Amino acid sequence: MIIYTVKPGDTVYYLSRRYGISSETIIRDNALNDPDLLVLGQTLVINNDVTPHRVRRGQSLFSIGMEYGISLEQMISANPQIDNPYMINIGENVNIPVAPEKLGTIEVNGYTFPNIQESVLNATLPFLTYLSIFSYQVMGDGSPRTIDDEPLIEAARQANVAPLMVITNLREEGGFSSDIAHAVLSNEDVQQTLLDNVVNVLDSKNYYGLDIDFEYIRPEDRENYDSFIQKAVDTLRPLGYTITSALAPKISADQPGLLYEAHNYPLHGSLLDHVILMTYEWGYTYGPPMAVAPIDQVGRVLDYAVTAIPPEKILMGMPNYGYDWTLPYRRGTAARSLSNTQAIDLAVSTGAEIQFDTTSRAPFFYYSDNDGRSHVVWFDDARSIQARLRLVDEYGLGGVSYWTINRYFPQNWLVLDSMYDIRKVL
């Protein structure tokens, strides 16, 4: 697989000829709505295991291999059409193998809402280990609001993907509630009611396990949350269910803030099967413009996390979206969320040039709207995704977790598949 950055004069037809791959494949793999319009700085995934090289005077297969860091044996294997590997002609095209060895086998979780399009779900399931269906909203009395999850559970199991029930302390109108969390965590009877309800849903709907996503818990409820995690493990593990939690992206054990203080990394890491780190939302709806998951900030979280949680239990959070901010940014104003493919389409329609920030390892661009207002868009492309996925290998993590899979971005799955094999537990 090749990640190509569009340059002046590039066309899909030119790239298809250059890399020996059909235009239709390039268009499909990169979700190009108008293949005649490419954007400077845009990345394209060329899903090919070889790239052509035109032989120059004095070159041999050995010297060409040296140029690309490839052994003579690899060059010979990639060019079965050459009868005599020690005699090649000037102007002849030889194949340069570009497919790297995979970095290993990982687990991949994908969060989804029940309203995901069937076509998007079916296209994504082959790349997943777990499907976390979001979410059963827990009420103060320990009863969860039910969701229409049966079709997703059935589709997941047919694709050998393990469905996970997700419980949250979300309000019905939206937003995580510290009050709901307190009502549940401060009352042992309510905790037991909740766990009884969870077991009933897991059993009756054929779930594989539980994913606990309680956020904005009051610091004074930290020990209560620890106790609830222990009770969940004691209740569910003997029944054969896995237990996962989603945790805020902390850089130290004593990090202050309502989002962080009640999330006890060492305890979750010791008790649970997996811990999902929500390593995104540095750039967020009401915050200043920046990358959603800058690699330098993600690295700071992982530096701490692997000291507190067994690395093989960690699933690193991966965002699947970007934001569009109106400039100049004013505190309290909202950015617009958009998919990565929508970001590219916006760059195409506004004639923007995509740039790449080397510190955050993320793409961005500026444009002006019809009213003359300036905007900046930060999003993900194949380069930023590849850079963050390398962290899984560097830190020895168990895998990744996507928020969310509802918007299909083919570049992501092609990059993931080129780097890792996906573990299936069913």
Provide the annotated active-site residues. Answer: 215
**DSSP character at residue 303:** H
Nearest to 79 by CA among 69, 68, 65: 65
Structural contact between residues 393 and 103, judged by C-beta atoms closer than 8 angstroms? yes
Nearest to 135 by CA among 184, 172, 162: 172
- In sequence order, which residues have a C-beta less than 8 Å from that of residue 333 and are 6 or more positions away? 286, 326
| Chain CA centroid to CA 193, Å | 34
Nearest to 133 by CA among 109, 102, 158, 105: 109
Structure tokens at 305: 């996390």
Structure tokens at 31: 């979700």
Q: Which contacts qualify for 31-36: CB closer than 8 Å, 24 or more apart?
A: 31/341, 31/344, 31/408, 31/409, 31/410, 31/411, 33/345, 33/348, 34/348, 36/11, 36/12
Nearest to 164 by CA among 208, 98, 120, 104: 208
Q: Please report the DSSP string for 123-171 in residue order.
A: HHGGG-SEEEEEEEEEPTTSPEEP---HHHHHHHHHTT-EEEEEEE-B-
What is the number of residues in the chain? 426
Q: Please report the DSSP string for 389-418 in residue order.
A: HHHHHHHT--EEEEE--SS--HHHHHHHHH
